[in-house]
Amino acid sequence: MVLIRTKVSPMTIKKDDKKVFERELEDYRDQVWGCARCNWCQNQWGWSVKSAEFSEICPAFHEYRFFPYSGMGKMHIARAILEGDFDYEDAPELAEFIYTCTTCGACEMNCQRLQDKEPLKVNEALRARLVRDGIGPMPAHQTLIKSVKHYDNPWMQPRSQRDKWAKKIILKDVSKEKAETLFFVGCTTALDSTMTGVARNTARLLLAAGVDLGTLGKDEICCGSPIARVGDRETFIALAKRNADILNKTGARKIVTSCPGCYRALLHDYPEVPGAAPIEADILHTVEYLDLLISHGRLILANEIPMRVTWHDPCHLGRHCGIYDAPRNILKAIPGIEFIEKERNRDQSWCCGGGGGARTAFPEFAAKTAEKLIHEAKTTTGADAIVTCCPFCEINIGDILRRSGDSMKLFNLVDLVAQAAGVNEK
């Protein structure tokens, strides 16, 4: 046997300057070969494990129990595809492994922290590859994409419906006059009848706090987040560029959005889009802005809401963007509210199952994931209500509560703040 003297190699991972949306699967080769099989993408960060029952973190692996559903599995599938080990002979199942991921980012969080690798980005690159090769996205996602292309929203709603939620509220139209703050409502909050109340309460609260507020009205377009998540890069990149131009043209100094998906897209995804203009305004999620307004005394929460509640961290707001404290500060500022933390919270929060296109393509899996969240909220907090602030989480969790007739209540934080401030919809 001849031993080969090789030169000392520096680090495994070659980090490059490419933007995320121009990175191909090939750019992750070092990472996927280097997956340590350490399993931390499936489990709570070790120091945070508080019980056996709630020690896992990947909703897909928790449900299906086979490795390809986990972040680790994606690394190994990516490796084999990259090396050309197999063709797409099991394409339907392969697509299922890749698309049952809710893009919650839990694997990415723990893997980044421990192994400095990016299993979620690898999965998103895999999705892009499947789209390129005609295997992805899932048929149900095609409807979303078509809708965005035709109507600028994923819900097949005509553009004329977009500002219907604001009929009784007087707001500046930023295409006609300048406003310091632009309320970027988001497709789901603006168009889903169960969510439009949140849009109105947001506007009422901001106006009550004296914010110079405007919207894009019917001209607001989808941020592209759902399209980015399912791997249609071409459509997303076009949308992001268009949107960045529209937003910059308004001259607003702040953009506030109700939706963690939009928030993450504007804050973190757009800067990773090659050729997209940087957004000039500060980008805030509603809860961040409300927290500021409350702490500066511009919103007074005087009405008592006697209730024991727990907070569900939406993945795209918490893990992805680091907004953990603002909603907790607000809940603690509402008189009468008793706030109890769920066992898994903040960076280690359990996803509701509603994101990443998982609910669209795998509604049963999304429902089960939400059931698990409700179960955790009940058993580890004894709360009367779950509070959150993401339209996707709210719709997904709300569906289960309605279907099962569960006594657990669900609130959007904005609605509670509006009630405490006395500006809510009667």
Site for another protein in 30-89 (CB under 8 A): 30, 33-40, 42-52, 55, 65-68, 72-73, 76-77, 79-80, 83-87, 89
- Residue 5 interacts with another protein (CB under 8 A)? yes
Interface residue with another protein among 204, 319, 342, 372 (CB under 8 A) is: 319
Answer left, alpha or beta for residue 284, where phi above 0 means left and psi between -120 and 50 means alpha.
beta
**Residue 318 interacts with, from another protein, ligand SF4, none (CB under 5-8 Å by kind):** another protein
Whole-number minimum distance, CB 342 to another protein, in Å? 13
> Cβ 78 to ligand SF4, closest distance in Å?
10
Nearest CA to 22 out of 225, 229, 222, 234 is that of 234
Q: How far is the CB of 259 from another protein (least distance, A)?
A: 18
Residue of 72, 78, 130, 240 interacting with ligand SF4 (CB under 6 A):
72
Which DSSP letter does residue 153 get?
Answer: S
The interface with another protein within residues 268-287 (CB under 8 A) comprises: 268
6-9-15 Cα angle (round to 5): 150
Order of strands across the sheet that contains 307-311: 337-339, 307-311, 385-388, 409-412
Question: Please, what is the minimum distance in Å from the beta carbon of residue 62 to ligand SF4?
Answer: 9
Query: Closest separation between CB of residue 188 and another protein, Å?
Result: 23
When the beta carbons of 41 and 221 are compared against ligand SF4, the nearer one is: 41
Q: Which stretch binds another protein (CB under 8 A): 108-116, 152-160, 216-224, 238-246?
A: 108-116
Partner from another protein, ligand SF4, none contacting 3, C-beta within 5 to 8 A by type: another protein
Helix (H) or strand (E) holding 64: helix 59-64
Instruction: Give Dmax (Cα) for the chain.
Output: 82
Q: What is the DSSP letter of 154?
A: T
Torsion angles phi and psi, residue 136, rounded to 5: -115, 170
Contact (Cβ atoms closer than 8 angstroms) between residue 314 and residue 389:
yes
Q: CB-based contacts of 278: which residues, under 8 Å, 6+ apart?
A: 244, 270, 271
Q: Is residue 167 at the binding interface for another protein, with CB under 8 A as the rule?
A: no
Q: Which does 102 bind (CB under 5 to 8 A by kind): another protein, ligand SF4, none?
A: ligand SF4
Which DSSP string do the residues of 343-387 spell out, in sequence order? SS-GGGPPP-S--TTHHHH-HHHHHHHHHHHHHHHHHHH--SEEE
Tell the smallest beta-carbon distance from residue 140 to another protein (Å).
21
- Within 110-129, the residues that bind ligand SF4 by CB under 6 A are 110-111, 115, 117, 119-120
107 binds, among another protein, ligand SF4, none (CB under 5 to 8 A by kind): ligand SF4
Closest distance to another protein from the beta carbon of 124 (Å)? 13
Q: How far out from the chain centre does Cα 143 lie?
A: 20
Distance (Å, whole) CA 172 – CA 228: 30
Q: Residue 170: count other Cβ atoms within 10 Å of its Cβ.
A: 8
Alpha helices in 100-185 (DSSP H): 106-115, 119-132, 139-151
From residue 31 to residue 70, what is the string marking binding to ligand SF4 with x (rule CB under 6 A)? ----xxxxxxx----------------xxx---------x
d(CA 51, CA 245): 48
Can residue 11 be called a binding residue for another protein (CB under 8 A)? yes
Start-to-end CA span in the chain (Å): 82
Work out how close the CB of 345 gets to another protein at its nearest, in angstroms, rounded to a whole number.
8
What residues between 321 and 360 interact with another protein by CB under 8 A?
A: 321-325, 346-348
Closer residue to another protein in complex, CB, 200/264: 264
Applying CB under 6 A, the residues found at the interface with ligand SF4 are 35-41, 58-60, 70-72, 75, 101-107, 110-111, 115, 117, 119-120
